[in-house]
Structure 1
Amino acid sequence: MTQYPGTAYPPPPHQPGGHPGQVPPPQFGPPPYGAPQQFAQPPMVPPPSASWELERVDMVGGTEFGLAQLRVPPITSGLAIGSLVAGIGAILVSFVAGCFGLLGGGEDWGALVTGAFTLLCVLAGGGAITAGVIALRQIRRSGQTGRVRFTGRGLGIAGIICGGIGAGIGLLALLLGLVLQVS
């Protein structure tokens, strides 16, 4: 095996029909005749769910085709779930604000930190109330259209209640922190 001067690598192997070191041209287009074909895998189609039922079939005029409409199970509203999560978060943050109001009541930082956490819980509570109201409207209207039916009315109501309670507790914690700061 001969080494080229100045390199630590051996020479490339000899290719038939070319010179040593010559790179074969890239292959473009279809493979040569007789070469094995490689096909892409077809996309996987999920089997029909047991909850899917054929509601009706409408024939398309002038053709032999039809439009099948399936009955889809109801979906829980994401806004209702988000409303409940934000409401629970508002309650938790309001308890943190109350703890800072009690701990920092005699200090200079108590009312400031309590006010920051109260602002956070009022914003989260307001968001929970807004999302809950929109979710209830979405759920009420979904029964009228006949399309996708949304459920989760109880989650939306619970989110509204938790958001209001969280904002109220946060404001009471701020009031408590201010009273302890002044006295």
Structure 2
Amino acid sequence: MTQQPGSWSAPPAAPYGQPPSGQGPPGQAPGVMPPKSNELWTPARVEPVPGTGFGLVQLRVTPITSGLAVGAMIAGIASILVSTLVLCFGIAGSSDGWGGWVAGAFALLSVLLGGGAVGVGLVARRLISRSGRSGRVRFTGNGIAVAGVWCGGAGLGIAVLTLLLVVVLQSS
């Protein structure tokens, strides 16, 4: 068959919702692709809709680590690290008189980080405990959130205690 210039004919089309014949894995119905093992959203089951050629797919969603929990832990660790600066600057500058001011500035930063870590960690624990119901995404990371609460509280406590120590050392 020769074609005239300017005339073009499309290949025969497949029925709606199905790939053209010959496409798809062998031994499987056309139009159904197997899930890949590295995908986050994989089908848990497929229920056919009666009277149609379609089906209802219910997805299996992998749990996700809570970003709030990770943020709480990072803020808690930062609070502990900044509270060590309170001690270092407070002791180094206590004889010259500037240690209390610098230690106070870093103590304020450490208290803000520690308080934020405690608050965000508690919110993350509540989010994790309420997730996964009625088709929602399930969050994990309860241990990370608890670690963030504890690290934030420890950093907050260390900063306050070392600031009190620096004030006592500087006044004497």
Q: TM-score, normalised by structure 2?
A: 0.72
Tell me how far apart the structure 1 counterparts of residues 75 and 48 of structure 2 sit (CA, whole Å).
47
Tell me how far apart the structure 2 counterparts of residues 86 and 63 of structure 1 sit (CA, whole Å).
54
Q: Which amino acid aligns with 2:123?
A: I
Alignment gaps of 5+ in structure 1: 1-32, 35-46
Tell me how far apart the structure 1 counterparts of residues 133 and 121 of structure 2 sit (CA, whole Å).
19
Q: Which amino acid aligns with 2:168?
A: V
Tell me how far apart the structure 2 counterparts of residues 53 and 79 of structure 1 sit (CA, whole Å).
26
Tell me how far apart the structure 2 counterparts of residues 127 and 60 of structure 1 sit (CA, whole Å).
50
Q: CA deviation at 1:61?
A: 8.0
Q: TM-score, normalised by structure 1?
A: 0.68
SS at match of 1:68: strand
Q: Give the greater-gyration-radius structure (CA).
A: 1
Contact 1:105 1:181 in 2 (8 A): yes
Mapping 1:2-151, distance limit 5 Å? 48-50=36-38, 53-57=42-46, 64-151=53-140
Alignment gaps of 5+ in structure 2: 1-5, 8-34
Tell me how far apart the structure 2 counterparts of residues 168 and 122 of structure 1 sit (CA, whole Å).
8
Q: Which amino acid aligns with 2:37?
A: S
Residue identity over aligned pairs, in percent, reads 57
Q: CA deviation at 1:69?
A: 1.8
Q: Which amino acid aligns with 1:95?
A: T
Counterpart of 1:164? Answer: 153
RMSD: 2.2
Contact 1:104 1:177 in 2 (8 A): no
SS at match of 1:69: strand
SS at match of 2:131: helix
